[in-house]
């Protein structure tokens, strides 16, 4: 959830500020980029140097910074626009009141008022302060603005009293943020089945019929679908591509028949089926048990047709499932792609041409056109395959 997210951490002046060192470390470990804005009083509880070291970014406390005779401005508007989300922890009673009233007397509050992203806040104070009607009013007002409360926990407080008011533990804060982000993902609850890579059809124990597919496009689609919250089943032929995304179940096969059999096992649960694999059209009728020795000038192989995987899957479709295929063409590209779309019973097909520079097998880029069952063709420029995956899933989204 937090990988590559840009997070602003706002720290205010309370004893719980010491926990932000652990919070920063957890966010960095989760793959986020963290920038920190502190109030002046927060620096009395936790060292800006420690936080700068952990976040690998300068910690900001003032609008103006002067160094070596020059004066620079910490632009609160740019900070607010930069962030994917903001966390204010600890959020003291003083800061909660200022946030609720719109008071803007320090850099952190200016950044908060400029933020266009979701804002999480984790209150921390003594139990009577937390129970006070003014504090409750501030919290309710902030929630009415759309800010997301991470409630204080019960336990021993700095005053020595026991009760509600402890800032949520860093692990709890990270879990709550991940839960909230997950609930906002557009494909949450969807199951996506993707085939990727080549298939290798054995001739003998050491030789095979295959192609140059790297699997990069299929893996990019799987990653993008998982980033949107989908549970992805990725059935891939032999490829060096790897994924560690927790939302992707990667199942490795070799032959077309293995790919079809594995995909069929997961077809019923799928909402979206994407056939991005470059399946070998033919396989040897028989596979030699031993390595075929070189003896003649010519070797003849008897080949039989492999199953058409995406067509085989689409023939078993349930109502509501969306099927997308791929067509790699070298001539009459759009005509051939539209014919495949109709023949295979698909909802849409992605067309690319080997005649387009930067498209096709092996590379990091692709140039596609998206054609739906109404024959509407949407062309795209040459892009990185990760961007192409976003374009493809956006087009699917528009038609779901």
Q: State residue 368 phi and psi, 5-degree precision.
A: -125, 165
What is residue 71's predicted lDDT score, i.e. its pLDDT? 62
Question: DSSP assignment, residue 353?
Answer: E
What is residue 35's predicted lDDT score, i.e. its pLDDT? 96
pLDDT digit string (tens) for 320-362?
Answer: 999 999 998 888 999 999 999 999 999 999 998 777 776 666 6
Mean pLDDT confidence for 68-93: 85
What residues are designated binding site for CTP? 281, 291, 307-310, 326, 340, 344
* Alpha-carbon separation of residue 126 from 164, 222, 354 (angstroms): 8, 47, 67
The residue ranges of every structural domain in the chain are 6-183, 191-282+302-399
Alpha-carbon gap, residue 312 to 344, rounded angstroms: 8
Closest by CA to 329, choosing from 283, 367, 376, 282, is 367
pTM higher than 0.85, yes or no?
no
Which one of 211, 254, 306, 374 is the catalytic residue?
Answer: 211
Task: Assess whether pLDDT exceeds 70 at residue 66.
Answer: no
Find tokens 């933020």 and name the residue.
115
Confidence of residue 296 (pLDDT cuts 50, 70, 90): confident
Mean pLDDT confidence for 21-45: 95
> What class has domain 6-183?
alpha beta
Please determine whether the domains at 6-183 and 191-282+302-399 fall in the same fold group of CATH. Answer: yes
What is the Cα Rg of the chain in Å?
28
**Sheet with strand 191-196: strands edge to edge:** 248-252, 231-236, 191-196, 272-275, 322-329, 348-353, 369-372, 377-379
**Three-class DSSP category at 161:** coil
What is residue 235's predicted lDDT score, i.e. its pLDDT? 98
Residue 264 CB burial class (10 angstroms; 0-12, 13-18, ≥19): middle
> Please, are residues 86 and 5 in contact by the beta-carbon 8 Å criterion?
no
Alpha-carbon gap, residue 312 to 270, rounded angstroms: 15
Instruction: Report residue 366 as tokens.
Output: 């692709």
pLDDT digit string (tens) for 94-127?
Answer: 999 999 999 999 999 999 999 999 999 999 999 9
Element holding 339 (H helix, E strand): helix 333-343
**More confident position, 269 or 67:** 269
Alpha-carbon gap, residue 390 to 51, rounded angstroms: 35
What is residue 329's predicted lDDT score, i.e. its pLDDT? 85
Q: Which CATH number does 191-282+302-399 carry?
A: 3.40.50.10300
What is residue 64's predicted lDDT score, i.e. its pLDDT? 73
Catalytic (active site) residue 147 = no
Task: Assess whether pLDDT exceeds 70 at residue 20.
Answer: yes
What is residue 355's predicted lDDT score, i.e. its pLDDT? 73
What is residue 225's predicted lDDT score, i.e. its pLDDT? 97
What is residue 229's predicted lDDT score, i.e. its pLDDT? 92
Mean pLDDT confidence for 224-252: 95
Question: DSSP assignment, residue 269?
Answer: T
What residues are designated binding site? 281, 291, 307-310, 326, 340, 344
Mean pLDDT confidence for 213-234: 95
Instruction: Report residue 252 as tokens.
Output: 């490795």
Average pLDDT, the chain: 93
- The 10 Å CB-count burial string (b at 16+, else e) for 321-359 is bbbbbbbbbeeebbeebbebbeebebbbbbbbbeeeeeb
């Amino acid at each position: 959830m937090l990988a590559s997210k840009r997070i602003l951490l706002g720290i205010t002046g309370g004893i719980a500020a010491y926990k932000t060192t652990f919070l920063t470390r957890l966010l960095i470990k989760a793959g986020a980029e963290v920038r920190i804005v502190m109030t002046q009083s927060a620096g009395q509880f936790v060292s800006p140097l420690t936080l700068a070291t952990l976040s690998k970014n300068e910690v900001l406390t003032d609008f103006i910074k002067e160094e070596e005779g020059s004066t620079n401005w910490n632009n609160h508007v740019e900070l607010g626009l930069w962030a994917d989300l903001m966390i204010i922890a600890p959020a003291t009673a003083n800061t909660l009141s200022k946030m609720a009233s719109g008071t803007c007397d320090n850099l952190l509050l200016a950044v908060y008022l400029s933020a266009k992203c979701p804002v999480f806040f984790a209150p921390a104070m003594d139990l009577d302060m937390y129970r006070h009607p003014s504090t409750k009013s501030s919290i309710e007002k902030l929630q009415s603005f759309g800010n997301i409360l991470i409630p204080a926990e019960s336990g021993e407080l700095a005053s020595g009293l026991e009760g509600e008011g402890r800032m949520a533990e860093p692990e709890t804060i990270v879990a709550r943020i991940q839960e909230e982000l997950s609930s906002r993902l557009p494909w949450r609850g969807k199951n996506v089945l993707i085939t990727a890579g080549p298939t290798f059809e054995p001739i003998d124990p050491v030789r095979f019929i295959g192609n140059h597919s790297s699997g990069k496009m299929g893996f990019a689609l799987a990653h993008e679908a998982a980033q949107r919250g989908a549970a992805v089943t990725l059935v891939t032929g032999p490829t060096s591509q790897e994924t560690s995304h927790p939302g992707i179940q990667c199942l490795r096969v070799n032959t077309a028949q293995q790919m079809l059999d594995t995909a069929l096992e997961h077809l019923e649960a799928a909402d979206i089926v994407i056939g991005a694999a470059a399946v070998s059209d033919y396989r040897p009728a028989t596979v030699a048990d031993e390595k075929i020795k070189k003896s003649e000038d010519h070797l003849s192989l008897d080949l039989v047709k492999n199953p058409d995987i995406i067509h085989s899957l689409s023939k078993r479709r349930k109502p509501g499932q969306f099927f997308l295929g791929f067509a790699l063409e070298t001539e009459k590209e759009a005509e051939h792609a539209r014919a495949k779309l109709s023949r295979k019973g698909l909802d849409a097909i992605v067309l690319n041409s080997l005649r387009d520079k930067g498209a096709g097998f092996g590379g990091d880029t692709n140039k596609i056109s998206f054609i739906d069952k109404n024959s509407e063709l949407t062309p795209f420029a040459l892009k990185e395959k990760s961007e192409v995956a976003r374009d493809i899933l956006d087009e699917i989204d528009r038609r779901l």
